[in-house]
Amino acid sequence: MRRANEELKEEEIMVEGTATDEGIKEGTNLLPKEEAEKLRPILQRFIDAYKTRNPEETDSVWLSECYKRELPDWDTEKINRLTEDTLASIKEYDSNLVDIEAAARQGISSEKWFASAVEKASVGMAVSEYGQRLAAIDTALTNGNAQMMRTVTTQAGEISGCYNLDGFIAEQYHVNTFNAEAALKNSKFVAEVKVPGPGEVYGKNSFDLVIKDSSTGKIVQQYQAKYGATAQDTIKLLKSGNYNNQRFLVPSEQVAEVQAAFPGKTVTGTIGDAETGVFSKPLTKQEAKLFQKQVQEQGTSIKIDYNTFQTKELALHIGQNAGLVGLQSAALAAGMSAVASLASGDGIDGDALIETALVTGADGGIKAAAAGALKVGAEKGVIALLPPGTPVHVIANIACVGIEDIKILMKVASGELTMQEALDKMGRTTTAMIYGLSWGLSGAVIGAAALAWIPIVGPFVGGLIGGMVGYMAGSKFGEAIYDGAKKILLTAKKAASKAWEGVKNVGRKIASGARNVLRSVGRMFGF
């Protein structure tokens, strides 16, 4: 069965490329130069409004006026709400970043900071609800990171969109119905779902289900279960792994089509055979989905037992996922590449106000301008990765990360920060973002599912807006941050690959906890 975090094939992720301009330009097609050209004048208007504002004017006033000019069809109430949400998101992000940086100075890792922060934020929330929310966030981020790893490392293939609860249920269904018949026939054979022991992880060719001879403990049959939405989906899943010594267990209505794709394999809709004299009951994909719906909507048992997922471990895993987004510098640099290409030969004069803001950290107004420009660009269809209607909470956080990351890259270029120090800081900038988007003011607005595309969109767009702001501070400043991006690129790719392996390994352990939960679900439904 496809497990949590098994979206990427099990083989080692290879990181290729060098820290060159050509290496950086991998993936720049996601951010065409034309999009940068359309966004630049919008950003310039926002920056100019910030620079020329009355010193006594609040950010709310000048930003609101910008939104009114750029989005004339929006009514006053909508503009005011947009302004308020933009500034609130930036304030929240900055507060979280200050907090996580303070924790880092005390030797507290990003993952531990995140776990502690969500634990505090969840006070008063039911344990079952807390676990469900953590699992949804973790799944979304894991899948987003899986897709991003494919993009950055040029790995081919598709990933699944969520934990396949129906597949887990299907596995337990077959085990329980087999064992029920075995008991009636007084058979020596017993079926079980294979789960790694303590400290173990799923191997490349691990079994999903086995049938044992209870008198000897010997495995007599082993199965790989795949419950794709269609027969073709199931075939694709089976072709993605090495299951040479296993029988294939699939939805009963897909057996014939899958068998045709694997003529030399045993493809079945049940476990057991003439040798055991015992069979499980067949289960269709639709029936498995119905069980899933029952479990998710009516099955109080799973909610009560959800804490077996080990919420602390889930929270730490989310922290790992969040930090991994910060290591996607290949994507960050790709966004900057579009800007560097656009700015080439422009000889942009330095803007002392922007440079001072970036150097001193007094950059709240710059972040507001960047967020405002991105939101307007999204509403006008300028940036394909940010469609109209993208929540401003998401956009503001991406803008904040983009600004923070160019400040980090500037320090890399100057030698103020080592590669590792820079990567650690970039991990913290994104962890602060993910916490805000998943658990802060905006968490209830965007929902857990939206987080799946944050790892994909965030680094590219963050690089784009950050690079633009950097070049607006002057060609010298812009070229320095781009040099910093090139310098850190290869190191970050290798670190991301290593971090992703860690994310997958922890995810496998969490998946084993899910299986334990589903055993109780199976008993609840009598299968």
413-432: pLDDT as tens digits: 888 988 888 888 888 998 89
Query: How far is Cα 154 from Cα 493, in angstroms, rounded to an integer?
Result: 12
Q: Which domain holds residue 51?
A: 26-160+312-490
pLDDT band at 201 (very low <50, low <70, confident <90, very high): very low
pTM above 0.75, yes or no: no
pLDDT at 438 (0 to 100): 84
Q: What is the pLDDT of residues 226-280, one digit of tens each?
A: 988 899 999 998 988 888 889 999 999 999 999 999 998 999 999 999 999 999 9
Could you give the strand order of the β-sheet that contains 247-249, starting from the edge strand earlier in sequence? 189-193, 209-213, 218-225, 247-249, 267-268
**By mean pLDDT, which of 213-227, 310-324, 326-340, 500-514 is the weakest?**
500-514
Sign of CA dihedral 503, 167, 514, 447: positive
Q: 132 lies in a domain? A: yes
Let me know whether 430 and 328 are in one domain.
Answer: yes
Judgement on whether residues 116 and 193 belong to the same structural domain of the protein: no
Weakest mean pLDDT among 96-110, 135-149, 167-181: 135-149
Let me know if residue 403 belongs to a domain. yes
Report whether pLDDT(374) > 90: yes
| 380 and 474 inside one domain | yes
In sequence order, the 6+-apart residues with CB closer than 8 A to the CB of 270 are 174, 178, 249, 252, 279, 280, 281, 282
- What is the predicted pLDDT for the residue at 139? 74
Instruction: State the pLDDT confidence band at 331, using cuts at 50, 70 and 90.
Output: low
**Per-residue pLDDT at 192 exceeds 70:** yes
Residue 109 lies in a domain: yes
How does pLDDT run across 54-73, given as a tens digit for each residue?
Answer: 888 889 999 999 999 999 99
The predicted pLDDT at position 180 comes to 73
Q: Please indicate, yes or no, whether residues 459 and 372 belong to a single structural domain of this protein.
A: yes
If asked whether residues 152 and 172 sit together in one domain, one would say no
Same structural domain for residues 77 and 149? Answer: yes
Question: How big is the CA angle at 21 (ends 18 and 23), to the nearest 5 degrees?
Answer: 40
Q: Measure the CA–CA gap between 501 and 512, rounded to whole angstroms.
A: 17
Residues 477, 347 share a domain: yes
Q: Are residues 295 and 443 both part of a single domain?
A: no
150 pLDDT tier (thresholds 50, 70, 90)? low
Rounded CA-CA distance 134/322 in Å is 13
- Please report whether residue 307 resides in a domain: no
Of residues 349 and 112, the one with the higher pLDDT is: 112
pLDDT value, residue 255: 96
Q: What is the residue-averaged pLDDT of the chain?
A: 75
Cα-Cα-Cα-Cα dihedral of 126, 132, 135, 136, to 10°? -120
- Same domain, yes or no: 287 and 332: no
Q: What is the pLDDT of residues 457-497, one digit of tens each?
A: 777 788 888 888 888 877 777 777 777 777 766 666 666 66
Q: CA dist 486 to 40, 297, 467, Å? A: 22, 49, 13
Are 96 and 70 part of one and the same domain? yes
pLDDT at 156: 35
Q: By C-alpha distance, which of 342, 458, 331 is closest to 400?
A: 458
**Which of residues 439 and 42 earns the better pLDDT score?**
42
pLDDT in tens, 109-141: 888 898 888 888 887 777 667 777 787 777 777
Q: Please tell me the total count of domains within the chain.
A: 2
- Top-confidence residue, 295 or 154: 295
- In percent, the amount of the chain with pLDDT more than 90 equals 27
Sign of CA dihedral 67, 68, 72, 74: positive
> In this predicted structure, what is the pLDDT of residue 294?
58
Residue 5 placed within a domain = no
Q: Are residues 156 and 234 in the same domain?
A: no
Predicted pLDDT at 28: 41
Residue 25: pLDDT band (50, 70, 90) is very low
pLDDT at 455: 77
The angle, 0 to 180 degrees and rounded to 10, between the axes of the packed helices 110-121 and 311-325 is 130
| CA R_g for the chain | 26
Within a domain: residue 10?
no
Q: Per mean pLDDT, which of 204-218, 326-340, 375-389, 448-462 is the most reliable?
A: 375-389
Within a domain: 4: no
β-strand pairing of 267-268 with 247-249: parallel
pLDDT higher than threshold 70 for residue 295: no
Torsions phi, psi of 17, nearest 5? Answer: 105, 165
Residue 407 lies in a domain: yes
Q: Are residues 326 and 290 in the same domain?
A: no
What is the percent of the chain where pLDDT is above 70? 68
